[in-house]
């Protein structure tokens, strides 16, 4: 048994070492190329899926790779994606796959160039004093979420798994982080479907008056890195350097978990006690794999079934994924069926 454990441990060390070597070789080739520093604007929304962005910035990995970042904050991942499409930012980081699905139905020129998180952090927070004890009690109630985000999809999926549809509730569009907490805590709505840490904040406000459910049912939310096809075609080297910085951050999070957690906690202003939950419910690593495509296809079918698009067929999501950058930086992490 001890021999098996030792062998497994050595295998893990070898994998980490090889991954680190691949990133180092890429970075070394970039240094030899002597590329000048380039300024880019990066959009984000204030969720824990952005962890690798903050680690890379704090540890100066972007600077080491010749990048000067201007950060632009948006209240949601969907809004940050609109910012990229509208030319307000070059890249957005940490948004879920659901807004990308909506843009694919619109034939928008967006491309996912990497995934930096697989998380389970969407919750439904409901008020007991509105007669809600079981999922079925949501029928006829005012339930809030931000339309066009992954929280809306998981609300709909949660209802479906409990024998209801979106038509069985009164859906309320709540757009701001303050609203995600205050609307349910102040009684403007009966329940909210939202992400952490706002779900916990609403729970804390309601106290014993809270009913609290995980909305995801084991289907992860992805944290994507997205740009436009035009920007990627004009800046392939910049995209590679950006991804290399995130790859370094992923390695740092593995090798220095205490320091990495402290960085994320400070940047997102999270409660110290909540950080244990953050590290349990998220997998921070840079990759692109087929599970992302399958999730987007599932969400596309849901959008069609709920008349959220005029389309009748699921898009070919391979056309909305850019693999070239990550294949150059971390080739073993790309597993997309062509």
Residue with tokens 């029928």: 139
What are the domain boundaries of the chain? 2-119+220-335, 122-214
288 token code pair: 């692109």
Q: In this predicted structure, what is the pLDDT of residue 33?
A: 46
Backbone angles phi, psi at 286, to 5 degrees: -90, 125
Q: In this predicted structure, what is the pLDDT of residue 136?
A: 97
Backbone angles phi, psi at 337, to 5 degrees: -70, 125
Question: Over its length of 338 residues, how does the chain's per-residue pLDDT go in tens digits?
Answer: 444 444 444 444 444 444 555 555 555 544 444 456 899 999 999 999 999 999 999 999 999 999 999 999 999 999 999 999 999 999 999 999 999 999 999 999 999 999 999 999 999 999 999 999 999 999 999 999 999 899 999 999 999 999 999 999 999 999 999 999 999 999 999 999 999 989 999 999 999 999 999 999 888 999 999 999 999 999 999 999 999 999 999 999 999 999 999 999 999 999 888 888 899 999 999 999 999 999 999 999 999 999 999 999 999 999 999 999 999 999 899 999 87
- Rounded CA gap, 312 and 222, in Å? 25
Q: In this predicted structure, what is the pLDDT of residue 256?
A: 97
DSSP state of 321: B
- Rounded CA gap, 285 and 108, in Å? 27
Give buried/exposed letters for 280-302 (b at 16+ CB in 10 A, else e).
ebbebbbbbeeebbebbebbbeb
Write out the E strands in 13-109: 38-44, 67-73, 91-95
Structural fold of domain 2-119+220-335: D-Maltodextrin-Binding Protein; domain 2 (3.40.190)
Instruction: Give 221's strand partners.
Output: 119
* Chain-centroid distance, C-alpha 28: 29
Structural fold of domain 122-214: D-Maltodextrin-Binding Protein; domain 2 (3.40.190)
Confirm if 85 and 158 have CB atoms less than 8 A apart: no
Q: In this predicted structure, what is the pLDDT of residue 22?
A: 53
Q: In this predicted structure, what is the pLDDT of residue 277?
A: 87
Question: Who's near 86: CB < 8 A, 6+ residues apart?
Answer: none
- Rounded CA gap, 7 and 172, in Å? 54
Residues in the chain: 338
Choose among 203, 198, 207: nearest CA to 178. Answer: 198
Choose among 251, 242, 240: nearest CA to 331. Answer: 240
Largest CA distance in the chain: 66
Instruction: Give 212's strand partners.
Output: 125
Q: In this predicted structure, what is the pLDDT of residue 338?
A: 76
Backbone angles phi, psi at 310, to 5 degrees: -85, -10
SS3 of residue 218 by DSSP: coil
Q: In this predicted structure, what is the pLDDT of residue 13?
A: 46
Confirm if 255 and 93 have CB atoms less than 8 A apart: no
Do the first three CATH levels of 2-119+220-335 and 122-214 match, i.e. the same topology? yes
Question: Who's near 313: CB < 8 A, 6+ residues apart?
Answer: none
- Rounded CA gap, 121 and 49, in Å? 9
Q: In this predicted structure, what is the pLDDT of residue 217?
A: 83
């Amino acid at each position: 048994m001890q021999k098996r454990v030792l062998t497994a441990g050595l295998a893990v060390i070898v994998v980490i070492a090889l991954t680190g070597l691949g990133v180092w070789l890429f970075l070394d080739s970039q240094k030899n190329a002597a590329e000048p520093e380039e300024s880019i604007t990066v959009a984000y929304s204030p969720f824990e899926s952005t962890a690798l962005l903050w680690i890379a910035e704090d540890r100066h990995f972007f600077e080491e790779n010749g990048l000067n970042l201007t950060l632009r904050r948006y209240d949601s991942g969907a809004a940050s994606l609109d910012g990229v499409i509208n030319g307000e930012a070059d890249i957005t980081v940490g948004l879920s796959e659901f807004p990308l699905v909506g843009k694919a139905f619109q034939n928008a020129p967006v491309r996912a160039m990497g995934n930096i998180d697989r998380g389970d952090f969407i919750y439904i927070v409901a008020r007991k004093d509105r007669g809600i004890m079981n999922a079925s009690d949501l029928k006829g109630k005012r339930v809030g979420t931000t339309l066009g985000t992954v929280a809306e999809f998981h609300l709909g999926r949660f209802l479906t798994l409990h024998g209801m549809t979106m038509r069985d509730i009164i859906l309320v569009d709540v757009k701001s982080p303050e609203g995600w907490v205050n609307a349910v805590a102040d009684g403007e709505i009966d329940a909210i479907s939202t992400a952490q840490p706002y779900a916990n904040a609403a729970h804390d406000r309601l106290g014993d008056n809270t009913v609290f459910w995980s909305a995801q049912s084991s289907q992860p939310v992805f944290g994507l890195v997205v740009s436009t096809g035009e920007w990627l075609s004009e800046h392939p080297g910049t995209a590679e350097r950006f991804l290399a910085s995130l790859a370094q951050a992923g390695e740092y999070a593995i090798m220095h978990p205490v320091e990495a957690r402290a960085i994320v906690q400070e940047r997102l202003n999270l409660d110290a006690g909540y950080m244990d939950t953050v590290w349990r419910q998220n997998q921070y690593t840079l990759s692109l794999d087929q599970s992302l495509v399958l999730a987007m296809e599932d969400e596309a079918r849901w959008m069609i079934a709920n008349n959220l698009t005029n389309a009748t067929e699921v898009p070919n999501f391979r056309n909305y994924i850019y693999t070239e950058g990550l294949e150059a930086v971390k080739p073993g992490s790309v597993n997309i069926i062509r």
